[in-house]
Structure 1
Amino acid sequence: MDDARSRFNVRQHAVVARPDHLTLLFRRLLDDQETLGVQPLSASLTVLLMLHEVARSPQGPPNTTAGAALLAGRAYARARFHQPLSASGLATELNCHPDYVGRVFRQTYHCTLTEAIHRRRLQQARLLLLESSAAVDEIARRCGFEDVGYFRRLFKRHEGMSPRTFRQLYARLHVNTG
């Protein structure tokens, strides 16, 4: 399996597109090593998934006015994820047409602006589920979801489990002490 199809290019320096996924994979690796001992095949597959996350990271936005607007829009969405946000509202803030912003954002980041907002909100929700004892309803509201039912459905779609199950499965925080 050493042919060209089994290889992928991993840059030495990259901004990881989904750092929350990389963190979850790393936590899974630590948990597996702690509970099952070192399992070479399992550990190798998990590390391969981690490398795949780094390899699939986008190069970043183009160095244009649109690229600058996208960076500003992405930063705006990341900073204000807990507030009511919409793609059209963000386009208005950037003084651009919503269709244009949506098209360029999708070409650059390979997802819609709404998907990026949801990812950021879910990233914060995962963090709060692991590091706080707040109720799921409260976490959903803190992360900008007005409809708790929608938050639960979206969380399950992205994580494959409910927020409560996620908390129970990953709540133990592993710290390497030397």
Structure 2
Amino acid sequence: MNSAILHFISPPIPYFVDCGHAYYGVGDTHIDRNCLGVFDLIVVRKGVLPIGENGNTWEIKEGEGLILLPNGHHYGSAPCKTDTEITWIHFQTFGSWQMCRDTNECLGNQLELIEAHKKAVFLNHADACSIFISKYMKLSLKAMEALDTFFQQDHEPQSLRNWKRQASFQLLLQYLDRDHAPPADAAAIRLAEQIELFIRQNYANDITNSVLQEQMNYHPNYLAKVMMKVYGMTPMAYLQYYRLEQSKRLLLQTPWSIARIAGEVGFRHTSHYSTCFSKKEGLSPLSFRSKFAKQR
């Protein structure tokens, strides 16, 4: 199923707003509205829902879903030909997002979107990651089960129900994110995540392509290929990126010297650390500390 991909950066994770059911008889059409202000996930539980957004049209069948954009024009593209039941979930995000033609376009724009996100939500020293969700999708059994939990909580008090629905929404996002990729991409994503996890757990140590080859049991060229596909950089480039990100935390949260911070995150030479940091951030480690950290 070919579909555009919605690419969200987190944290913060997109958050739940509201949910409900809607029913359409034969001849009924979806409501016409403009700029709803939230994302609208529509899942058809029975029948077929003809729907349009900004000139594009879909016929959403049972077990399928569509995410309508917060700034779009949504409307019924034709009357329903059969009795139709839908579940809808409204959600929103404070973070950066974009819609891409396919996964490759998402991955190609990933680093730029993450950097813009960090500046927009003041996450200068925090890790950020991507969530990929197909705009038009066939929901897996796990995703449908997660969807059902939203309405199993109707008997709960409102305060408790809202907490549980937020947790249910995050679980649903996980399934939608995992389900969007075709098998070939899914295998590459899993391997790239293993590389990323190893780097994250061992970044202060001496990591080389040979070390990664021994750990992952793949040739360095293939490891570089999957990392480029998923993270937009080679393993060695990601290692340097992650070391610099960790150094930001230490610059803001400790009074340690630049030399000590360089060593703590895996740089052998302070001068090399300072050069890499300045090239990436546009200011030196000391200037970064002065700009963002309260004077001690």
TM-score (norm 2): 0.41
CA–CA distance in 2 between the matches of 1:104 and 1:20? 21
SS at match of 2:186: coil
Contact residue 191 and residue 226 of structure 2 kept, 8 A:
no
Amino acid at match of 2:242: R
Query: Are 1:88 and 2:183 counterparts?
Result: no
1:168/1:21 CA distance change after superposition, 3 Å? farther
Aligned partner (choices 246, 256, 261) of residue 139 of structure 1: 261
Query: Are 1:63 and 2:193 counterparts?
Result: no
Amino acid at match of 1:27: F
Question: What are the within-5 Å matches in structure 2 for residues 113-132 of structure 1?
Answer: 113-132=235-254
Look up the match of 1:108. Answer: 230
Compare CA radii of gyration and give the structure with the larger one: 2
CA–CA distance in 1 between the matches of 2:205 and 2:116? 23
Q: Percent identity?
A: 22
Look up the match of 1:48. Answer: none
Q: Which structure has greater helix proportion? A: 1
1:170/1:82 CA distance change after superposition, 3 Å? same
Aligned partner (choices 118, 122, 128) of residue 27 of structure 1: 122
CA–CA distance in 1 between the matches of 2:250 and 2:118? 14
Which runs of 5 or more residues in structure 1 are unaligned?
1-8, 29-52, 174-178
CA–CA distance in 2 between the matches of 1:134 and 1:20? 26
Question: Displacement, 1:24?
Answer: 4.8
Contact residue 105 and residue 111 of structure 1 kept, 8 A:
yes
Give the length in aligned residue pairs: 139
Question: Displacement, 1:124?
Answer: 0.7
Amino acid at match of 2:227: F
TM-score (norm 1): 0.66
Amino acid at match of 1:90: L
